[in-house]
Amino acid sequence: MRAIGIDFGTTNSAVAVVEPDGQVRSLSWPSASGDVGVFRTALAVWSEGRVPRAVVHTAGGPQALEHALSGSGHGRLVQSIKTYLGSRGFTETRLYGRRFTIEDLVATFLGHLVPDREVLMAGAHGIVAGRPVVFAGDRPDEALAVGRLGSAFAQAGFGAVDLAYEPLGAAYWYARNLTRDETVLVADFGGGTSDFSVIRFHRAGGWRDAEPLAHGGVGLAGDTFDYRLIEHYVAPQLGKHSHYRSFDKLLPIPAYIHAAFSQWHQLSWLKAPQTMAELKKLQAASDDPEAMERLIDFIDLDLGFELYQAISGVKIRLSEAEAADLAFDSAGIRLSAHVTRADFERLIAPDLARIAAAADDTLARAGLGTDDIDAVFTTGGTSQVPAVRRIFVERFGEAKLHAAHPLQSVASGLALYAADRAAGRAA
């Protein structure tokens, strides 16, 4: 039974296929990081010629990053598209004279993720794509997000695609080797959301019988942790906390400017002409003109992705060491900081509390206690942060924790789930 699983993620995406012999394979793409099984959720848009005759071009994943980092200074890098799905405030944007709805952006990205859709789908009996339990953003509209996601897949040429909770996919990947019945808590940490599912697996006739007991989540994860580092260590070097003089008053720099760093994919939108003009006026009246100049150059040169790569590197190193240094140096802009793990954990403590509360609430809605859980399966890059892992060690004990490839397990499990659905073995 051939089936396909698609994990359209906030930061990275992946695709897996269950072949008729039951083997699972992950699609691969060239990657500068060396991890060929994941595809960066990024879309580069640029044009040739003048509006209205301009020809608009797009690239996705590694090619999008290559274009953005080429130094041409031409084009727009759109990232974390998924976080807009549940927002009624985002309906469309215009890039180089072309209108893009959120469905257009997602569909265009999916077209780059799977350029040979007809080949991939040939002989497939089912396609399941993941969706978070709780969509990212403030008060996300779930029905709107689900509708947009389904429309985008259809627009991209996948037809009708079944959607399943992403932690359910991770659970299926964990359960593929089960030899006994188990009740599993799955914790799936992405870039934008932390999702949880409690699933009871029964082994019968050599295949998985999955009984979902409860789902839950919270709209924060790795991107939020990155922002805490940006806000505390980097933003002050880019003019945060500075002031500007307006007549006889000294006023703080408008908060919206540095608030854009809270969702790093929004940084490119600050490059709008009216915003850049305002920033230059603020710099002229600032009590820290050098920091404001760095901010203006940073935005003008589209260095957001490079900065977040550096911040992500600090976060990864803090998972292995008690301290790490940020040394950002690009296009003449230098930013530095010494970060200890203890300080990092202090900064993310309120976020950790919300994640822990969401996990506890999911368990409570399943009507179970910690002793009723046989295994805890964690996946996603943020699951490797020691403070996140500690949440589950403290509740369930080290022996119950299991992990897999943080970026491929969801897609692989969704493919297994799609195969079971096609065979009539899953609800």
In this structure, of 155-159, 260-264, 271-275, 347-351, the range with the lowest mean pLDDT score is 260-264
* 425 pLDDT higher than 90: no
Can you tell me the mean pLDDT for 48-65?
A: 85
Distance CA 151, CA 132 (A): 16
Can you tell me the mean pLDDT for 297-311?
A: 88
Which residues on neighbouring strands pair with residue 251, listed in sequence order? 244
* 207 pLDDT higher than 60: no
Report the pLDDT value the prediction gives residue 254, as an integer from 0 to 100.
92
Structure tokens that stand for 228 in this block: 């805490």
Report the pLDDT value the prediction gives residue 50, as an integer from 0 to 100.
76
Percentage of the chain modeled with pLDDT above 90: 63
Rg (C-alpha) for the chain, rounded Å, is 22
Report the pLDDT value the prediction gives residue 246, as an integer from 0 to 100.
92
Report the pLDDT value the prediction gives residue 408, as an integer from 0 to 100.
83
Report the pLDDT value the prediction gives residue 32, as an integer from 0 to 100.
52
3-state secondary structure the chain: CCEEEEECCCCEEEEEEECCCCCEEECCCCCCCCCCCCEECEEEEEEECCCCCCEEEEEEHHHHHHHHCCCCCCCEEEECHHHHCCCCCCCEEEECCEEEEHHHHHHHHHHHHCCCHHHHHCCCCCEEEEECCCCCCCCCCHHHHHHHHHHHHHHCCCCCCEEEEHHHHHHHHHHCCCCCCEEEEEEEECCCCEEEEEEEEEEECCEEEEEEEEEEEECCCHHHHHHHHHHHHHHHHHCCCCEEEECCEEEECCHHHHHHHHCHHHHHHHHCHHHHHHHHHHHHCECCHHHHHHHHHHHHCCCHHHHHHHHHHHHHHHCCCCEEEEEEEECCEEEEEEEEHHHHHHHCHHHHHHHHHHHHHHHHHCCCCHHHCCEEEEECHHHHCHHHHHHHHHHHCHHHEEECCCCCHHHHHHHHHHHHHHCCCCC
* Identity of the residue numbered 215: H
pLDDT tens, position by position, 19-45: 999 899 999 887 655 555 679 999 999
Q: What is the mean pLDDT of the chain?
A: 90
* 416 pLDDT higher than 90: yes
Kindly report the length of the chain: 427
* Identity of the residue numbered 14: A
Report the pLDDT value the prediction gives residue 269, as an integer from 0 to 100.
72
Distance CA 125, CA 17 (A): 11
Report the pLDDT value the prediction gives residue 156, as an integer from 0 to 100.
96
pLDDT tens, position by position, 150-171: 999 999 999 989 999 999 999 9
pLDDT tens, position by position, 71-125: 665 778 888 899 889 999 888 888 888 899 999 999 999 999 999 989 999 988 8
In this structure, of 149-153, 179-183, 299-303, the range with the lowest mean pLDDT score is 299-303
Does residue 197 or residue 53 have the better pLDDT? 197
Does residue 68 or residue 215 have the better pLDDT? 215
Query: Domains along the chain?
Result: 3-178+405-422 (3.30.420.40)
Does residue 302 or residue 71 have the better pLDDT? 302
* 327 pLDDT higher than 90: yes
Can you tell me the mean pLDDT for 269-286?
A: 90
Report the pLDDT value the prediction gives residue 53, as an integer from 0 to 100.
74
* Identity of the residue numbered 390: R
Report the pLDDT value the prediction gives residue 13, as an integer from 0 to 100.
94
pTM for the whole thing? 0.85
Which residues on neighbouring strands pair with residue 249, listed in sequence order? 246
Report the pLDDT value the prediction gives residue 31, as an integer from 0 to 100.
62
